[in-house]
Amino acid sequence: MPLSSRFSAWIPACLLAAAVLLSNSLRAATFAQDAAKKVEQKTAAEGKPAESKSEEPANPSARWEATIQKFEQQDETNPPPKNHILFVGSSSIRRWKLDKSFPDLQPINRGFGGSEIADSIDFADRLILKHQPRVVVLYAGDNDLAKGKSPERVTADFEEFVATIHKALPETKIVFIAVKPSLARWKLIEKIREANAAVKAICEQNDRLEFVDVDAPMLGDDGTPRPELFLKDGLHMTEAGYEIWANLVRPHIVPQD
């Protein structure tokens, strides 16, 4: 076959191959678009926001909104007295039967389980400041350390908490209950003690701050947490644990003659 004839036959074959490749590319692009659309539809159906690398993460404290609203409903139904003692913090506060420990003081309980110091800062206006307490008792930092925050971060958050309260209520006393030693989080004891030492040092420099050390009273002769002070989870306390706390906290919240 002459060269010109072979060349003429080769051209249609090339065009056909190119057409096939183009068709496959278009088909792949269409498949990818359909797949992406299905993901978006599924995401919308589940009520989740579409992922975006540029999107800022949601405020972690927002998960407590329903809990805070319940407190606000309680405040409307039965407004607590002002110029009283308010306890705030994580589940160790929420579970505390304050009326039993301090029947003469009418304490206000604003603990919400699982919370960290930052959460009490974020909701300070709605949880604490509006009640104008003369004393705020804070227990937090336990969950912070368990979730990977450093003792330095816990200390910095405590300082921010103090600044937030004293900016609005400069005369209010803040009592910090030390992060407790527990069976469940004994592996964190070095970080717990480091955070406690740093917070204690801050409290010693300000006469409106007081530190309640619960470490040694919660340990047995072997230097480890006393089992009878904890529930089966090894984290939350029994009545015996709260009795120790009440005896340690009372001198810091009751006016001394």
**According to the model, what pLDDT value does residue 2 have?**
53
Question: Looking at the structure, do residues 72 and 45 belong to the same domain, yes or no?
Answer: no
Chain-centre distance for alpha carbon 204: 26
Question: Looking at the structure, do residues 44 and 82 belong to the same domain, yes or no?
Answer: no
Question: Looking at the structure, do residues 205 and 122 belong to the same domain, yes or no?
Answer: yes
Question: Looking at the structure, do residues 83 and 140 belong to the same domain, yes or no?
Answer: yes
Question: Looking at the structure, do residues 109 and 169 belong to the same domain, yes or no?
Answer: yes
**According to the model, what pLDDT value does residue 191 have?**
98
Question: Looking at the structure, do residues 129 and 70 belong to the same domain, yes or no?
Answer: yes
Q: What is the pLDDT of residues 195-248, one digit of tens each?
A: 999 999 999 999 999 999 999 999 999 999 999 999 999 999 999 999 999 999
119: closest CA among 157, 148, 92?
157
**According to the model, what pLDDT value does residue 257 have?**
56
Question: Looking at the structure, do residues 46 and 113 belong to the same domain, yes or no?
Answer: no
Does residue 56 lie within any of the structural domains?
no
> In this structure, are residues 78 and 106 in contact, taking their beta carbons and an 8 Å threshold?
no
Does residue 119 lie within any of the structural domains?
yes
> In this structure, are residues 90 and 119 in contact, taking their beta carbons and an 8 Å threshold?
no
* Amino acid, res. 216: A
Does residue 41 lie within any of the structural domains?
yes
> In this structure, are residues 237 and 231 in contact, taking their beta carbons and an 8 Å threshold?
yes
Boundaries of domain holding 26: 1-50
Backbone phi and psi for residue 42, each to the nearest 5 degrees, phi listed first: -65, -40
Question: Looking at the structure, do residues 98 and 219 belong to the same domain, yes or no?
Answer: yes
Question: Looking at the structure, do residues 162 and 98 belong to the same domain, yes or no?
Answer: yes
Question: Looking at the structure, do residues 115 and 25 belong to the same domain, yes or no?
Answer: no
Ranges in the chain, pLDDT < 50? 3-4, 6-7, 10-11, 14-57
Q: How many domains does the chain have?
A: 2
Does residue 58 lie within any of the structural domains?
no
> In this structure, are residues 178 and 138 in contact, taking their beta carbons and an 8 Å threshold?
no
Question: Looking at the structure, do residues 3 and 67 belong to the same domain, yes or no?
Answer: no
What would the two tokens of residue 68 be? 């805070």
Residue 71 sits in a domain whose CATH number is: 3.40.50.1110
Does residue 220 lie within any of the structural domains?
yes
Does residue 172 lie within any of the structural domains?
yes
Does residue 18 lie within any of the structural domains?
yes
**According to the model, what pLDDT value does residue 14 have?**
47
Question: Looking at the structure, do residues 121 and 44 belong to the same domain, yes or no?
Answer: no
Does residue 141 lie within any of the structural domains?
yes
